[in-house]
Amino acid sequence: MNLKETVTIAAAAIRDEVIGYRRHLHRHPELSFKEFGTSAFIKEQLDLQGIPWKTIAGTGVLAEIQGAGKAGSVIALRADIDALPITEANQVDYCSVNDGVMHACGHDAHTASLLGVARILNGLKAHFSGTVKLIFQPGEELLPGGAQQVIAEGGLNAPAANVVLGQHVMPWIPAGKIGVRTGLFMASMDEIKIEVYGKGGHGAEPHKGIDPVMITCSLLQALQQLVSRNTSPFMPAVLSFGKLRADGAINVIPDKVWIEGTFRTLDETWRNSAHARMKQLAESLVAGMGGTCDIEIRKGYPHLKNDEALGAHMISFFKEYAGAENVLPQDIWMASEDFAYYSRALPSFFYLLGVRNENKGARSALHTPVFNIDEDALELGMGLMAYAALRWLETS
């Protein structure tokens, strides 16, 4: 029996149990850096398999499977474990029991899949050389993210990892398919908070005050133009403001307006330049209209770049396991991921696992109250990652 057949059979054998892992985790989601029950569940499952682990980054878990052959190379496999502050609206038996918290980004699937990978690899450890690190990482959804802490605490060391592999479920890709891209893949992400101060008053007498609402309207337009007129047309960049608050009334001009948004790009030089220019523009424009402002730009995750050479190998392994017709090239995705920190530390590859199935109602976008997956994708997800890890150890 060849390696593909061996892994395929092993994944099929534990499919139902891994779906059970996912449903347990989905029913009991926990917010970033508060994943205490999730962490305990992961440790329990690893203990049942006799896989050694240690705590890392607070609520994270770092496990290790050592092949029985020579020391060899080291590959790290990462899954994020936290959930989002969203109230679930799905009508399923495993709906979240934690009010206002939901696995709306699929981290329950990532964690369950990696637990499945752990079982497959542990069962095959007599047949491979090298080491597999399993990183169950907390806090991906909340700055500064858990990846930096995992790295700072030596999660990629002793033994030193050579490469890192990660996957993310994707509802725009049909179940049974895998999305891949080498080179630039995902954007950096920064949080922008601006408070615009004026002088409130009666809505019938705007000339007696300084209207921060109108100043903010002008500022929003100017900031959008700054990005669209100064970003190279060959470099993606997105500036979006999703929160605006002006606590006035129909006849009351407020003293202050709050706006919050996000800036994303794939070029660090332009990213830093844009920050400086946005601050300068905000302060000068608001002052020119008679107001004042405070602007804070909180730097988030860097852009994610998949290693070209490692990516070529992984795509080849994916095609071997799933079939070339099921490995789909992807465009740049302007979302952000703290997996980017691993890609800065070591050659890394981040790919997408399709989970969409219209017939099963799995079609909603990430970060929505009705996000769900076709759970059959978990069998492919764990088998694919296990196979790719073994093939990389075999050929490295």
Annotated binding-site residue numbers: 105, 107, 141, 168, 367
Across-strand partners of 239?
263
Question: Do 46 and 38 touch, CB atoms closer than 8 A?
Answer: no
Question: Residues 91, 20, 317, CA angle at the centre, nearest 5°?
Answer: 110
Tokens of 83: 């959930």
How many Cα atoms are found within 13 Å in the side-chain-facing hemisphere of 366?
A: 21
**183: region left, alpha or beta (phi > 0 left; psi from -120 to 50 alpha):** left
Q: What are phi and psi of 340, to 5 degrees?
A: -55, -30
Tell me the residue length of the chain. Answer: 396
Q: Quote the CA–CA distance of 260 and 192 in Å, as a whole number.
A: 5
Tell me the C-alpha distance between 16 and 21, whole Å: 9
Instruction: List binding-site positions for Mn(2+).
Output: 105, 107, 141, 168, 367
Is the omega angle on the peptide bond into residue 236 within 30 degrees of 0, that is, cis?
no
